[in-house]
C-alpha cells in the first residue's frame, strides 16, 4: 500500500504522530528555526544530551532520539544541504535526507511521520525546488510508513505542497 502524504500548516512540535523529523545541523547541537523549536518543546537539556551521544550526523543522513516532551515518540534528526546555487549535489543530498528519514522510521516501526520543509530556512534552499524534491522522494521511496505529514510553517510552503500533491 503506498504511503499517504498530506500537507498541513502548523507547528511540528505539536504533531501527534509516531515520529517527527528535525531539520538539524551536523553537530545535532540545536539551533534556530525548526531545530530550536523542537529542542525547546522536547526539553533542551535531555535532547541535547541524547544528541551529543550520537556523534553528529552527516548531511543527507538521519539519526534518532526519543521524543522526550513531544507528543511524538521519536525525533528523527536529519541534515539537509546548505543551498550553494545547485551545483554542489544539493538536490541529491536533500533527497537523501528525506529517504534516510523514512528508512530510520521503518527501522523504528513508525507508521506515521511529520516532516518540516528541510533546508528552506537558514540553509537557503529555494522553497519551490525543495518542495518538489520532498514530494517526489516521499512518493518514490519504498517504506512501511503509512502516513507522511508535510508540516508547513507558512501559507506559501503549504500552497506549494498542496499543488504538488494534487498533480
Confidence class for position 1, pLDDT limits 50, 70, 90:
low
Question: Annotated catalytic residue: which of 35, 61, 106, 155?
Answer: 35
Per DSSP bridges, beta strands 147-152 and 112-115 are: parallel
Task: Render pLDDT for 103-135 as a digit per residue (tens, 0 to 9).
Answer: 999 999 999 999 999 999 999 999 999 999 999
Q: What is the band of 2 on the pLDDT scale with cuts at 50, 70, 90? A: confident
pTM of the complete model: 0.97
pLDDT digits (tens, 9 = 90+) for 76-88: 999 999 999 999 9
Q: DSSP letter at 81?
A: P
Q: What mean pLDDT comes out for the span 51-55?
A: 96
Q: What is the pLDDT of residue 123?
A: 96
- Judge residue 55's burial from the number of C-beta atoms within 10 Å of its C-beta, 0-12 exposed, 13-18 middle, 19 or more buried: exposed
* Residue 8, number of CB atoms within 10 A of its CB: 14
Please tell me the predicted confidence (pLDDT) of residue 36. 95
pLDDT for residue 70: 98
- Active-site annotation holds for 11: no
Q: Which domains does the chain have, with CATH numbers?
A: 4-166 (3.40.220.10)
- Which grid coordinates are listed for 150? 508535510
Average pLDDT, the chain: 97
* Residue pLDDT, tens place only, 142-152: 999 999 999 99
Amino acid at each position: 500500500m503506498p504511503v499517504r502524504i498530506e500537507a498541513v500548516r502548523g507547528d511540528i512540535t505539536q504533531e501527534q504522530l509516531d515520529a517527527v523529523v528535525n531539520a538539524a545541523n551536523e553537530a545535532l547541537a540545536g539551533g534556530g528555526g525548526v531545530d530550536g523549536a523542537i529542542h525547546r518543546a522536547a526539553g533542551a537539556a535531555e535532547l541535547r544530551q541524547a544528541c551529543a551521544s550520537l556523534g553528529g550526523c552527516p548531511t543527507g543522513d538521519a539519526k534518532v532520539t526519543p521524543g522526550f516532551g513531544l507528543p511524538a515518540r521519536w525525533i528523527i534528526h536529519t541534515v539537509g544541504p546548505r543551498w550553494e546555487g545547485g551545483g554542489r549535489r544539493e538536490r541529491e543530498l536533500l533527497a537523501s535526507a528525506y529517504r534516510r528519514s523514512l528508512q530510520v522510521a521503518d527501522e523504528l516501526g513508525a507508521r506515521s511521520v511529520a516532516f518540516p520543509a528541510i533546508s528552506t530556512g537558514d540553509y537557503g534552499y529555494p522553497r519551490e525546488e525543495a518542495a518538489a524534491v520532498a514530494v517526489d522522494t516521499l512518493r518514490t521511496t519504498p517504506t512501511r510508513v503509512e502516513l507522511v505529514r508535510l508540516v508547513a510553517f507558512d501559507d506559501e510552503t503549504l500552497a506549494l505542497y498542496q499543488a504538488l500533491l494534487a498533480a
